[in-house]
Structure 1
């Protein structure tokens, strides 16, 4: 597998999955645009790694939950790169809340971050992707399939991302653009490591493999979907250690 010379934008690059994907893609020869909101320390390390590997990389600090966040990010990427090989819509999240405590603002913020911004980025970057017949990977969640435990605003927006994936794949295939989604299950991360022992044990016990997903496993799946020569499009790959079966 190689991504030699491919230009790839990763959103949410400072998080556990974003960092794993950036490391993996750099190792496969990609050049990277790295979006993050506020945590610059991991981004600085990634930029240094890219320099050591002789790869081009740059970062853009922008909040994709803000109304103009996706527009500002796309503008900066297009200013530097007129063509793009890959887009990974990885930025996302929501604060867990009981159903009856979710405010309209919390609902709108989750939908904007998890669904509207990925749509807007794809729309704005489409001319650059068309030049290369690029590949888009949307990072959804098994919560889109099960409802999850992060609240309806998270599950609904991540389920919407799966619908966007299928619709975009159908419409953009004529340009040679492939669009797929990954639905991660419980990932080994700072968040899961902070959980109470019994809660974490219950999560692990509900997986067929009796373990958490390593972020590198998500990164390797994304690299496969970004790589050349694949006929996979419009699909959702569930990577959850066997927690949910479809």
Structure 2
């Protein structure tokens, strides 16, 4: 039977690039995104071996329905990619509880809910969970008190999943993207920000969506069959420089 992957936050960016790579590798794919109009456009372009599920994964019933609909369509779940996330940045003093919860309910609660819902099906296939965190979960930065904390929690959740689900043959890994050249990033990053990132990243550039998808699909593949509980920064070396100033590396 054809393998199947669920990818959340799949209507654009890293999620869409990942879904396309799974399709190229022969998977059936359930693309999940709460932006229904954009999701419908994507599904129309992809057409074969896909379903579009317009669910908000921060709602428990939606996470359950996501898995049920995927099983109904394809009969199995081999991979869950928890990619859906909210990037809401702001000063710590301006982050009220409502803003905090808006970030947490998608970035952390959603990962937990989708993983819990998919675990019985993943036991059947000895499948894989791949969580998307962020370089912001590995190192602190301004304006990211909610976002960075949510992503740090996803990293810990991944290790908990690896420790507890390994006995069922389920692998759990986490990818932490650094700056990625998405349409959204390019729309909001000024030239000054772009130049600063280039200076701070050893490879001197942003990553691409496909470069992230390459690592995601590898970690979900049989080629990574003995890899679990790992946190992989896909960031051009950004994490390796720590707090070192670019000027001091010359």
Pair 1:13 & 2:10 matched:
yes
209, 222, 232: which one aligns with 1:237:
232
Alignment check: 8 A CA contact 1:47 1:58 kept? no
TM-score, normalisation: structure 2: 0.89
Question: In the alignment, is residue 215 of structure 1 matched against residue 209 of structure 2?
Answer: yes
Give the match's secondary structure for 1:40. Answer: helix
Q: CA deviation at 1:123?
A: 1.1
- Pairing 1:37–2:34 present: yes
Deviation of 1:68 after TM superposition, in Å, equals: 4.2
Q: Cα RMSD (Å) of the superposition?
A: 1.9
What's the CA shift for 1:199? Answer: 1.3
Asked if the contact 1:139–1:182 (Cα under 8 Å) also holds between the matched residues in 2, the reply is yes
Contact 1:143/1:149 (<8 A) preserved: no
Say yes or no: does 1:60 pair with 2:57.
no
Which ranges of structure 1 fall in alignment gaps of 5 or more residues? none
Choose 209-218 or 190-199, whichever is displaced more: 190-199
Normalised by the length of structure 1, the TM-score is 0.90
Determine the C-alpha separation between the residues in 2 that align with 1:105 and 1:138: 24
Which stretch of structure 1 is more off in the superposition, 224-233 or 208-217? 224-233
Could you tell me how far apart the structure 1 residues matched to 2:44 and 2:130 are?
A: 22
Matched residues in 2 for 1:70 and 1:141: separation? 22
Count of paired positions: 239
Unaligned runs of 5+ in 2: 243-250
Cα 1:25–1:181 shift into 2, 3 Å? same
Distance 1:146 1:104 in 2: 23
